[in-house]
Amino acid sequence: MGQELKCRVEFGQQSSEGKALLESTEILFRGGFRLKIAFQGIETMEASGGLLKIKFPEGLAVFHLGEKAEKWADRIRNPPSRLDKLGVKPETKVQLIGKHDEDFRRELTKRGAVLVKSKPGLAFLSVQQKDDLVELAYLTDSPVWIVYPKGLKSITENDVIAAGRAAGFSDIKVCAFSPTHTALKFKPRTR
14-22, strands of its sheet edge to edge: 34-38, 26-31, 14-22, 3-11, 59-64, 51-56, 44-48
Q: How far apart are CA 157 and CA 14, in angstroms?
A: 38
Residue 19 three-state SS: strand
Which pLDDT does position 1 carry in this prediction? Answer: 47
- The proportion of the chain whose per-residue pLDDT surpasses 90, expressed as a percent, equals 76
54 with 93, same domain: the answer is no
Domain, as residue range, for 162: 82-188
Which pLDDT does position 133 carry in this prediction? Answer: 92
45 with 104, same domain: the answer is no
Query: Of 57, 77, 97, which one is at a domain's C-terminal end?
Result: 77
Would you say 114 and 93 are in contact if contact means Cβ atoms under 8 Å apart?
yes
126 with 178, same domain: the answer is yes
Q: How far apart are CA 128 and CA 126, in angstroms?
A: 7
Span 66-94, average pLDDT: 93
Q: Tell me the sheet residues that pair with 36.
A: 28
The CATH number linked to 167 is 3.40.50.150
Number of domains in the chain: 2
45 with 97, same domain: the answer is no
Q: How far apart are CA 22 and CA 45, in angstroms?
A: 14
Region for residue 166 given its phi and psi (left: phi exceeds 0; alpha: psi -120 to 50; beta: otherwise): alpha
Span 5-12, average pLDDT: 96
93 with 170, same domain: the answer is yes
Q: What is the pLDDT of residues 29-78, one digit of tens each?
A: 999 999 999 999 999 999 999 999 999 999 999 999 999 999 999 999 99
Residue 102 has pLDDT above 90, yes or no: yes
Which pLDDT does position 140 carry in this prediction? Answer: 73
Span 150-154, average pLDDT: 88
17 with 67, same domain: the answer is yes
Which pLDDT does position 117 carry in this prediction? Answer: 92
89 with 183, same domain: the answer is yes
155 with 86, same domain: the answer is yes
Residue type, 162: A
Query: Of 50, 77, 104, which one is at a domain's C-terminal end?
Result: 77
Residue 168 has pLDDT above 50, yes or no: yes
38 with 101, same domain: the answer is no
For residue 93, report the phi and psi dihedrals to the nearest 5 degrees: -80, 115
Residue 191 has pLDDT above 80, yes or no: no
The pTM is what? 0.72
Residue 23 has pLDDT above 90, yes or no: no
Question: Residue 139: which residues within 8 A CB-CB, separation 6 or more?
Answer: 97, 123, 125, 167
102 with 62, same domain: the answer is no
Q: What is the pLDDT of residues 115-148, one digit of tens each?
A: 999 899 999 999 999 999 998 888 878 899 999 9
95 with 38, same domain: the answer is no
32 with 72, same domain: the answer is yes
The CATH number linked to 36 is 2.30.29.30
Query: Of 31, 59, 77, which one is at a domain's C-terminal end?
Result: 77
**Quick one: pLDDT band at residue 2, thresholds 50, 70, 90?**
low
